[in-house]
Amino acid sequence: MLFRYKIALLNVLRNRRRSVLTLLAIQVGVISLVLFGGFVASMSDGMRENMIRSELGHLQIYKKGFNQYGHIEPEKYLLSQSDLTQITHIVEAITGVELITPRLDFSGLLTNGNQSIAIVGNGINPDKEALLSSAITITQGEDLFPQDSDGALLGQGLFNALNTKVGDYLTLLSSTTDGAVNAVDIKVVGAINTGVRDVDNRLIRINLPHAQDLQFTDGISRLVVLLSETDNTQVVIKQLNEIFEKEKLPLEIKSWSQLADYYHEVVKLFEGVFGFIKVIVLFIAALSIANTMMMAVMERTPEIGSIRALGATRYEIMMLFLTEAFYLGIFGSVLGVLFGILLANGITLAEFIMPTPPGSSQSYPIRIFIEWPVLWQTAITGIFVAVIASIYPAFKASRLLINQAMRSA
Amino acid sequence: MEVVKLNNISRFFSLGNSQVNALKNVNLSVNKGEFLVLKGSSGSGKSTLLNIIGAMDEASTGEVEIAGKPLNKLSDAKKSKIRQKHIGFIFQSFNLLPVLTALENVQYPLSLQGDKNSKNKAIKALAQVGLADFIHHRPNQLSGGQMQRVAIARALVTQPDIILADEPTANLDSVTAKSIMELMKQLNQQGITFIFATHHEFVLTQASRIIELKDGQIMHDKQKAAA
């Protein structure tokens, strides 16, 4: 048994050119998967954090039934000022919570006198929102402040579509919570970029009291909570649900994941593309490995005959070649992972700018994440492919007729 | 005691549309301790007969018994076990594994049997063939004669019932060939059965029995007094 491992290792070292060719095939496959896997992980991570830190927060708290019936009877499903105080007190006591901020949602029309555009808007607390929405960039003008009582931030697309300027006054028309129509004047203080073009084409942000005036209410639609770690989201939700239940508060919580359908669709698409590329890369690597292993079998045919003559079974011959493939798989995968890490860091440091993705309004530099699950899964896949690709050559070797194999010397 | 028993064996090969009869109705019985030589011109069937006795080829018809065990209906794995335990091989081209040292080459057949004392046995076998000082040499660091001695040590280390040698001296100079033959003769005197296929005159003079093959048939089977 030990001899098998020794012979296999010595055979790997014996024909260096062939082993290098096989190692290259494995390494190229592993490097490609490490880079592409890291790229997909960085894209997903970037998109997730962008959504959390521009709009969604890590979790949102609503009055129970808001998401189901809030659009029919909005006034019934708003959180009151006392709710706001009580919930804020509870949430801020939880470890890992960075901030909690209220929002009042509305929709309506924004007009410059010549043109009206349908909008979705948020009444916000600008101080807290500035911390929560760190992924939002001000493209023109300046940020919204609490003292800008009639100030408004417009999405870049909306800003362009209305052909407006910073300092212009526009009219915002919306229905109140009890169904009446109301209008307020807003002063454009700046344009913002959320990173999502569709959002930028319709978004308006105003101070919360201004939105409450527009809607004839002192309530809020939801509380948005930002955590220090995205991974803690479920833990915090569990804790809050337990507290809300204990305090008998009729509230419901949604995580960023439940609110980010677009994110899940894109991640699914990325994973599909990654899976497809993975299959192609591994198939090419497997073909190359099978080819070089077949060459090894042909080169060593007389030797295989001798080993069989000495009493080695077909199984022993198969295992001998599969052990060689296993060694090549390990060496190739480890080297591939190491080179993959180096290349990933190099590419990330080089900050190559990617073209703007569809649906996005921002370009960004390529980042490639070094993720341990991607690394070890890829390394194991490399070893697995090396062994699987060698099954046919090993089988052929085990089936050689002893006397014919020895005669081929 | 019979170590080899062939009962009416034939071996046919297909060559395109025609059939080549490598062996025809061969009957042979070899007793323990014989020093038997198969002689005959090229194509007479010597190697085919050795391959069949060595469980490396199958007879098309007839029955083969090695050390009392019938080979005919055995699986490949069981035939491998027969080769491991009952048969030693010495080849014309030595057929040592180039990546292993002399010691490891001799250990290898024992390792296939899972023998835990393989190192000591291999050292002893190498000492027996006069290579105690060369155990850590690889085949490419040994002369032809030394390589054949390693092959002999490898063949006898498992204490087989028979050692089959196919032209064992063909790749050696006459002096080395003579010393190798003397070594095998000594081993034979210790009770090991040898079956050779050879043209070498010196080997023929050492044989206790000479079988002449022609066109796949035994023409003469001559028993000699030990030389």
Neighboring chain A residues of B57 at a CB cutoff of 8 Å: 401-403
Give the DSSP letter of residue A113: S
Q: Do B99 and A11 touch (CB under 8 A)?
A: yes
Partnered with residue A309 across adjacent β-strands are none
Pairs of CB atoms within 8 A across A/B: 77
Cβ neighbours, 10 Å, residue A283: 13
Residue-wise pLDDT for A113-150, tens only, equals 889 999 999 999 999 988 888 778 899 999 999 999 99
pLDDT in tens, A356-393: 666 566 677 888 999 888 899 999 999 999 999 999 99
> Which chain B residues are closer than 8 Å to A311 by Cβ?
80-81, 83-85, 109, 112-113
What does DSSP assign to residue B26? Answer: E
Q: Nearest-5° angle of CA A253, CA A94, CA A81?
A: 60
Amino acid at A122: N
Query: Would you call B111 and A308 a contact, using CB atoms and an 8 Å cutoff?
Result: no
Residue stretches of chain B with pLDDT short of 70: 225-227
**Pick from A6, A7, A403: CB nearest B56:** A403
Question: Model confidence over B44-101: pLDDT tens digits?
Answer: 899 899 999 999 999 999 999 998 889 988 899 999 999 999 999 998 888 999 999 9
The three-state secondary structure class of B95 is: coil
Q: For A73-88, how does the pLDDT look when each residue is reduced to its tens digit (9 = 90+)?
A: 777 889 999 999 999 9
pLDDT at A23 (0 to 100) = 92
Tell me the shortest Cα–Cα distance from B48 to chain A, in angstroms: 9
Q: If we measure between CA atoms, which residue out of A80, A109, A50 comes closest to residue A360?
A: A50
Q: B132: which residues sit within 8 A by CB, 6+ positions away?
A: B123, B126
Confirm or reject CATH 3.40.190.10 for domain B34-57+76-223, answering yes or no: no
Find the closest chain A residue to B107 by CA distance.
A3
Out of A10, A14, A311, closest to residue B83 by CB: A311
* Pairwise CB contact (< 8 Å): B84 & A308: no
Q: How far apart are the CA of A312 and the nearest CA of chain B, in angstroms?
A: 6
The span from the CA of B37 to the CA of B49, in Å, is 12
**Which of A306, A318, A319, A323 would you mutate first to test chain B, the one with the most B CBs within 10 A?**
A306
Backbone dihedral angles phi then psi of residue A294, each to the nearest 5 degrees: -65, -40
* Selected residue with higher pLDDT from A67 and A174: A174
Q: At what angle do helices B102-112 and B118-128 cross, to 10 degrees?
A: 130
Radius of gyration of chain A (CA): 31
| pLDDT tens by residue, A298-318 | 999 999 999 999 999 999 999
CA distance A362 to B175: 86
A308·B100 Cβ contact <8 A: no
Contact list, B13 vs chain A (CB under 8 Å): none
Strand ranges across the sheet with B18-31:
B18-31, B2-15, B61-66, B69-70
A49-66 per-position pLDDT tens digit = 888 887 889 999 999 988
In whole angstroms, how far apart are CA B60 and each of B16, B47, B52, B190, B219? Answer: 17, 15, 10, 35, 21
Q: Is B212 exposed, middle or buried (0-12, 13-18, 19+ CB in 10 A)?
A: middle
Residues of A with CB under 8 A from a CB of B: 1-3, 6-7, 10-11, 14, 302-303, 305-316, 401-403, 406, 409
Considering only CB atoms, which chain B residues are within 8 Å of A403? 47, 51, 56-57
Packing angle, helices A391-398 and A372-389, rounded to 10: 30
**Are A10 and B113 a contacting pair at CB < 8 A?**
no
Closest-CA residue of B relative to A7 is B99
Residue with tokens 């002999």: B152
**Percent residues over pLDDT 90 in chain A:** 69
Helices A314-350 & A372-389 angle (0-180, nearest 10): 150
The better pLDDT of the pair A274, B171 is held by: A274
Residue with structure tokens 């014919």? A404
> Bridge partners of A251?
A63
Check if the beta carbon of residue A393 is closer than 8 Å to that of residue A321: yes
More confident: A362 or A225: A225
Q: Which residues contact B177 (CB under 8 A, 6 or more apart)?
A: B169, B200, B202
**A311:B95 CB<8 A:** no
Specify whether the CB–CB gap between B182 and B176 falls below 8 A. Answer: no
Q: Is A309 in Cβ contact with B54 (below 8 Å)?
A: yes
Mean pLDDT computed over every residue of chain A: 90
Question: What are the extents of the domains in chain B?
Answer: 34-57+76-223
Amino acid at position A78, single letter:
L
Closest Cβ–Cβ partner in A7, A306, A313 for B77: A313
pLDDT at A359: 58
Q: What is the model's pLDDT at position A26?
A: 93
User: For A316, which residue in chain B has the nearest alpha carbon?
Assistant: B112
Chain A residue numbers with beta carbons less than 8 Å from the beta carbon of B113 are 311
Residue B227 pLDDT:
45
B120 CA: distance to closest CA in chain A (Å)? 16
DSSP assignment string, A23-52: HHHHHHHHHHHHHHHHHHHHHHHHHHHHHI
Q: Which residue has the higher pLDDT, A37 or A357?
A: A37
Residue A357: the pLDDT is 64
- A108 beta partners: A119, A174
Q: Please indicate whether, in this complex, the C-beta atoms of B91 and A306 are within 8 angstroms of each other.
A: yes
Give per-residue pLDDT as tens, A148-181: 999 999 999 999 999 999 999 999 999 887 788 8
Q: How far is CA B192 from the centre of its chain?
A: 11
pLDDT reported for residue A366: 86
Do residues A334 and A379 lie in contact, with contact meaning Cβ atoms separated by under 8 Å?
Answer: yes
Across the interface, whether the CB atoms of A303 and B95 are under 8 A apart is answered: yes
3-state secondary structure B138-205: CHHHCCHHHHHHHHHHHHHCCCCCEEEEECCCCCCCHHHHHHHHHHHHHHHHCCCEEEEECCCHHHHH
